[in-house]
Amino acid sequence: MRLKVAIPSLLLCCSSLATTLTLAQSHPRPRITGISHLAVYATDMKATDHYYAEIIGAAREPDPENSNGVRYAINSTQFVEVLPLPANAGVNRVDHTGWNTDNAEGLRLYLTEKGWKTPAKITHNSDGSKSFRVNDPEANLVEFVEPSPRAKAPDAPHVIGHHIIHVGFLVHSRAAEDKFYRDLLGFRPYWFGGMEEGKIDWVSQQTPDSHDWLEYMLTSGPSGGGIPEHISQQSLGVLDHLSIGVVSVPESYKVLAAENRLTGKHDGHTQIGKDGKYQFNLYDPDGIRLELMEFHATDKPCCSPFTAEDPKPE
């Protein structure tokens, strides 16, 4: 009699366990397939248009998310979004970063299940894309985008490069941000370094399903100096940046110079960074830095080796 009771109880227990495991795995994390965009503010939309459309050579397109904004497309799924400067922006000129996923709703459900604050539903945009936004641990706005199935290559014959390979922004606490980007989203280490050996100013980590990367900018001054409480707009613009990959920075620089496209603010020369890669910095009218960077290192990187494959040219 005791055996007859025990067997159904055991079956019920196993069934409950299986149900619990199924629920725990009901929303696995969808793929995060690289950078979608960086959204920036502009005090002068006309001047900023000249910079992104004429100097950088990106394709000007309407913004399906904000009728007051403009997109400057680099390729079919990557762009810079420019928005009018809001009244409360202060020195900040970045609205949000954007990352591509193959399943926006699945990623929203995954983050919800993990206890992250998410919107009640995704947004269906007029171009056929789907998206939602959350805040990271330091209240940076982050958007996840499922690109439109109708996405096509932009009409940008003079764009200086065809792939946004990384974005970076001010970070106060590496440990706090890692709880979101590393632990929840699965970003992977790529490289870290600093102006001085033994000090970390920048931490780069790739998305889990591409070689595009996010760069934590941990200091705005001398190596290890941290982020000033009252940072200037110019200094913040150096930290908050995007990078377009090119095969050869010196050759890209020659193209910009020969076509008289170096009319805005930019560094005086190309250089090899601490990561061993050639780079050249340009700045939009509000100070956001755009870093032309080679896909592969020319010199040995300082501080740490690369721990993942480099992005590849489009």
Pure H helices in 114-172: none
Residues 191 and 238 in one domain: yes
* Residue that the structure tokens 């959350």 belong to: 134
Give percent above pLDDT 90 in the chain: 88
pLDDT at 10: 43
Does any domain span residue 22?
Answer: no
Stretch 98-121: mean pLDDT: 98
pLDDT at 269: 96
Residue 41 lies in a domain: yes
Domain shared by 212 and 269, yes or no = yes
* 43 occurs within a structural domain: yes
Is the pLDDT at 9 greater than 60? The verdict is no
Q: For the chain, percent helix, then strand, then coil, each to nearest 5?
A: 25, 30, 50
Lowest mean pLDDT among 19-28, 220-229, 264-273, 285-294: 19-28
On whether both 176 and 252 belong to a single domain, the answer is yes
Residue 18 lies in a domain: no
* Domain shared by 169 and 285, yes or no: yes
Residue 6: predicted pLDDT: 46
Q: Which amino acid is at 267?
A: D
Run of H or E residues at 291: strand 289-294
- Name which of 7-16, 178-187, 224-233 the model is least confident about: 7-16
**Number of domains comprising the chain:** 2
> Based on the domain organization, do 182 and 139 belong to the same domain?
no
One domain, residues 233 and 271 = yes
Q: Which of 35, 31, 33 is nearest to 241 (CA)?
A: 35
Of 31 and 24, the one with more pLDDT: 31
Distance CA 184, CA 111 (A): 8
Same domain, 126 and 182: no
Give the β-pairing of 164-170 and 123-124: unpaired
The domain of 278 spans 164-294
Q: Where are the beta strands (DSSP E) in 151-286?
A: 164-170, 188-193, 202-206, 213-217, 241-246, 265-266, 271-272, 278-283
What value does the mean pLDDT take over residues 183-189? 98
Q: Is the backbone of residue 24 left (phi > 0), alpha (psi -120 to 50) or beta? A: alpha
Is the Cβ–Cβ distance between 308 and 226 less than 8 Å? no
- Domain end, chosen from 119, 146, 173, is at 146
Tens digit of each residue's pLDDT (9 = 90 or more) over 228-284: 989 999 999 999 999 999 999 999 999 999 999 999 999 999 999 999 999 999 999
Q: Is residue 190 part of a domain?
A: yes
Query: Average pLDDT for residues 290-297, to the nearest whole number?
Result: 98
Residue type, 183: D
pLDDT confidence of 198, banded at 50, 70, 90?
Answer: confident
Q: Pairing relation of β-strands 32-42 and 94-101?
A: antiparallel
Q: Please tell me what DSSP assigns to residue 180.
A: I
153 or 88, higher pLDDT: 153
Confidence check: pLDDT of 12 > 90: no
pLDDT greater than 70 at residue 174: yes
Section 211-225 average pLDDT: 95
Query: For the chain, give me the number of helices (H) and strands (E)?
Result: 6, 17
Same domain, 168 and 290: yes
- Using DSSP, state whether 29 is helix, strand or coil: coil
Kindly report, residue by residue over 143-160, the tens digit of the pLDDT: 999 999 999 999 999 999
145 Cβ contact partners less than 8 Å away, ≥ 6 residues apart: 36, 37, 98, 99, 100, 101, 104, 129, 130, 131
Task: Report the pLDDT averaged over residues 127-144.
Answer: 98
Whole-number Å distance between alpha carbons of 143 and 224: 30
Write the CATH number for 41.
Answer: 3.10.180.10
pLDDT for residue 25: 56
Let me know whether 117 and 202 are in one domain.
no
Domain boundary among 146, 179, 196: 146
Say if residue 174 is in the same domain as residue 101: no
Mean pLDDT of the chain: 93
Rounded to two decimals, the pTM is 0.91
Residues 184, 86: one domain? no
Do 108 and 228 have their domain in common? no
Q: Which of 146, 179, 208 is the last residue of a domain?
A: 146
Position 17 in a domain: no
Q: For residue 230, what are the contacts with CB-CB under 8 A and spacing of at least 6?
A: none
| pLDDT for position 8 | 47
Residue 13 lies in a domain: no
219 is a domain residue: yes
